[in-house]
Amino acid sequence: MIHLETPKKFRPLVDQAHQVAREIFRANSRKYDRAEHAYPKELDMLASVMDGMDEAGARGGAGASGVRRDAQVSEGNKNGSNLSTCLGIMELCWGDVGLLLAMPRQGLGNSAIASVANEEQLQRFAGRWAAMAITEPGCGSDSANIRTTAVLDGDHYVLNGEKIYVTSGDRADLVVVWATLDRAKGRAAIKSFVVEKGTPGFELVRLEHKLGIRASDTAAFVLKDCRVPRENLLGDPEVNVEKGFAGVMQTFDNTRPLVASMAVGLTRACLEHTAKVLKDAGITVDYDRPALTQNSAAATLLALEADYEAARLLTLQAAWMADNRKPNSLQASMAKAKAGRTCVDVALKCVEICGALGYSEQALLEKWARDAKILDIFEGTQQIQLLIVARRLLGKTSAELK
């Protein structure tokens, strides 16, 4: 059974992550929001420290862990790397979401590799920064409609297509590219391939200018007859129509709780800042009195905090299930949907409550409101998450419920 408090063994890591968020992330948050596409050099030393902690077997809270279904299930309650990673991300995103996404060797592609790579691939790609390329110009939320192709030619797959909105795509060493082996066989033929930067035919087209998370680079690529070694395919190379999309979608069982954790951390930052602004104005939230007997702003903050707590608990549940090798696709989508929507709602409402103090650049709240929106979009939009939840609850296939 999941316990709701932070596990004792993770508390030092959570404290360390909070210190990093306060002393490094927040201290440089505005700087890199204004200097879009400038690489945050302050993160290099931090990344080296975290690499050392990973090698010592003690994650600093932002490592890219994976959901591996082939591992042995241990008896009892296990609190492992998925839960510790989510707890650390919550703290770090209390500091700055964009800077977390800019952390070297902590990309979403690393989670994909950790989730489905074989042992040889895990060793070969260890210590390298991996981005993940799924979205295409004609394929946004519907990942099953991917048009990038992969054709086996001897010892290589030849990839052709276009990928957009690749987080850390410019800075990463590797990019995990989703492509189809045979479009006629539908989603079952979609596989993920590790493409190394510098591979001929893999071309960076542009870097996007964005509303938020401006410290993180977002790239667009074109693949033209890009030859990738066949041993760089992640997972089973066979197309199993009965298994369908499960192989590559397993990645999302891990990454969606991570994005939910980002939203939870940012939500908490907004709430704490707003509570301080209200306190300075002489308005204190009384948790022992009914909301309807309190100041309107205090009552609103109570409702927002309730949504925050629900999002946090759903996220912890999804991570805990992954650690205990329990199927968590439903819970991962529920956590992502709730946390993403809550983050946007809370950030905008906090700007409204704080008035001029929330809208100006005197504080980080206006930046957090801009950062919040992406957390409701990437790794599957709000609408897609609700569709997945509906399918799981109703027992419907993707063909039956679109």
Stretch 133-147: mean pLDDT: 85
The answer to whether residues 253 and 320 touch, using CB atoms and an 8 Å cutoff, is no
Structure tokens at 79: 């609190």
Please give the pLDDT value at position 402.
85
Which tens digit of pLDDT belongs to each residue from 160-216? 999 999 999 999 999 999 999 998 888 889 999 999 999 999 999 999 999 999 999
- Report the C-alpha gap between 263 and 282 in whole angstroms: 29
Indicate the pLDDT class of residue 249, thresholds 50, 70 and 90: low
Quick one: pLDDT at residue 98?
97
Phi and psi, residue 15, nearest 5°: -65, -40
**β-strand pairing of 174-180 with 130-133:** parallel
Asked whether the predicted pLDDT for residue 63 surpasses 50, the reply is no
pLDDT confidence band for 3 (50 / 70 / 90): confident
* pLDDT for res 57: 46
User: What pLDDT band is residue 75 in, cutting at 50, 70 and 90?
Assistant: low
Q: What pLDDT was estimated at residue 204?
A: 97
379 is catalytic: yes
Catalytic-role residue among 136, 162, 366, 379? 379
pTM, two decimals, is 0.92
Residue 388: band (very low, low, confident or very high) from pLDDT cuts 50, 70, 90: very high
CA distance 193 to 138: 20
Bridge partner residues of 196 (DSSP): 174
- pLDDT attached to residue 241: 67
What gap in Å lies between CA 301 and CA 19, rounded to an integer?
26
List pLDDT tens digits, range 208-231: 999 999 999 999 999 999 999 999
pLDDT value at 117 more than 70: yes
Instruction: Give yes or no for residue 53 having a pLDDT over 80.
Output: no
The confidence score (pLDDT) of residue 31 equals 97
List, in order, residues 6 or more apart from 120 with CB less than 8 Å away: 231
Over residues 318-373, the pLDDT tens digits come to 999 988 989 999 999 999 999 999 999 999 999 999 999 999 999 999 999 999 99
What does the pLDDT read at residue 247? Answer: 54
Q: What is the pLDDT of residue 248?
A: 61
Cα distance between residue 265 and residue 302, in whole Å: 17
Q: Give the model's pLDDT for residue 30.
A: 97
Q: What is the pLDDT of residue 107?
A: 82
pLDDT at 91 over 60: yes
Within 10 A of 330 (CB to CB), how many other CB atoms are there? 16
Instruction: State the average pLDDT for the chain.
Output: 90
Domains assigned to the chain:
8-124 (1.10.540.10), 130-234 (2.40.110.10), 246-394 (1.20.140.10)
- To the nearest 10 degrees (0 to 180), the angle between helices 365-372 and 26-34 is 70
